[in-house]
């Protein structure tokens, strides 16, 4: 992959092929008993879950498994030149003693992750989302709108951004969870404020026509 730019048309296909190599390395290590399965993952032989360049690895919380997984990543790097980014890697532990956790963190050098785990920007939870867990969604929408605020956009331009960008962000979350009503109302207020005022702050009383006609 040397000399191939990220924007090259072949780049995504080669990356998928490379990730397949890593997937085989993880599965083979588990089949040979070198990598211990996490509880509840053994019955389905689940060692990892990946999409694009995001990867979740599930393993038993032990120092032996930690050393094996680091060895796999090192072998993958030597084979294909793709190295794990420690700055973007987090470790989540559950049901381990403090001493074991500290030893695993010392061996791996990974950052300590905080729950809930986020995958592709969406929190992984088994129950209903709380308002607090949805805060990153509101923050991302606010950041997008504030990035557009200085541009002199027409109403049609703002509406297009709302439909193509803001609604896409919200739909990603809605595809996995039922958002609290408070959160959906907050998203609607952000969209309304951006459409009529070009800002992320509330635009009460400034709607020029019913929202049904805008849609």
Give dist(CA 53, CA 70) in Å, integer. Answer: 18
Q: Which residue has the tokens 């973007």?
A: 88
209 part of a folded domain: no
Indicate the burial class of 147 (C-beta count within 10 angstroms; 0-12, 13-18, 19 or more). exposed
Of 55, 80, 114, the last residue of a domain is 114
List the one residue out of 14, 26, 96 whose CA is nearest residue 55. Answer: 26
Same-domain pairing of 91 and 133? no
Same-domain pairing of 104 and 164? no
Same-domain pairing of 157 and 134? yes
Same-domain pairing of 146 and 108? no
User: What phi, psi does 13 have (nearest 5°)?
Assistant: -70, -40
Same-domain pairing of 47 and 137? no
pLDDT digits (tens, 9 = 90+) for 20-48: 899 999 999 999 988 888 888 888 888 88
207 part of a folded domain: no
Distances (CA, A) of 192 to 25, 153, 159, 172, 200: 50, 15, 9, 20, 9
**Is 73 within 8 Å of 63 (Cβ atoms)?**
no
Which domain does 150 fall in, by range? 126-197
Same-domain pairing of 67 and 146? no
The tally of domains found in the chain comes to: 2
2 part of a folded domain: no
Same-domain pairing of 20 and 109? yes
Same-domain pairing of 97 and 25? yes
119 part of a folded domain: no
- pLDDT at position 203: 57
Question: What region does 135 belong to: left with phi over 0, alpha with psi -120 to 50, or beta?
Answer: alpha
4 part of a folded domain: no
Q: Does residue 53 or residue 37 have the better pLDDT?
A: 37
Give dist(CA 154, CA 69) in Å, integer. Answer: 52
73 part of a folded domain: yes
- pLDDT at position 6: 64
Same-domain pairing of 146 and 65? no
Same-domain pairing of 62 and 139? no
Q: Mean pLDDT for the chain?
A: 84
Single pTM value for the model: 0.62
214 part of a folded domain: no
Residue percentage of the chain with pLDDT more than 90: 29
Of 58, 82, 114, the last residue of a domain is 114
């Amino acid at each position: 992959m040397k000399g191939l730019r990220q924007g090259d048309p072949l780049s995504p296909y080669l990356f998928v092929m490379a990730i397949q190599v890593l997937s085989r390395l993880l599965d083979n290590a588990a089949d040979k008993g070198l990598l211990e399965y996490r509880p509840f993952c053994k019955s389905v032989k689940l060692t990892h879950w990946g999409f694009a360049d995001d990867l979740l690895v599930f393993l038993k919380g032990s120092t032996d498994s930690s050393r094996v997984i680091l060895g796999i990543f090192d072998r993958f790097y030597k084979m294909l030149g793709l190295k794990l980014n420690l700055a973007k890697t987090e470790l989540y532990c559950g049901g381990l003693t403090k001493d074991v956790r500290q030893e695993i963190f010392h061996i791996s050098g990974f950052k300590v992750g905080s729950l809930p785990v986020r995958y592709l920007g969406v929190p992984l939870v088994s129950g209903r989302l709380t308002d607090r867990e949805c805060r990153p969604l509101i923050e991302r929408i606010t950041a997008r709108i504030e990035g557009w605020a200085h541009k002199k956009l027409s109403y049609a331009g703002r509406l297009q951004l709302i439909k193509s960008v803001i609604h896409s962000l919200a739909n990603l979350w809605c595809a996995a969870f039922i958002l609290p009503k408070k959160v959906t109302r907050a998203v609607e207020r952000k969209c309304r404020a951006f459409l009529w005022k070009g800002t992320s702050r509330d635009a009460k009383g400034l709607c020029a026509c019913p929202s049904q006609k805008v849609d």
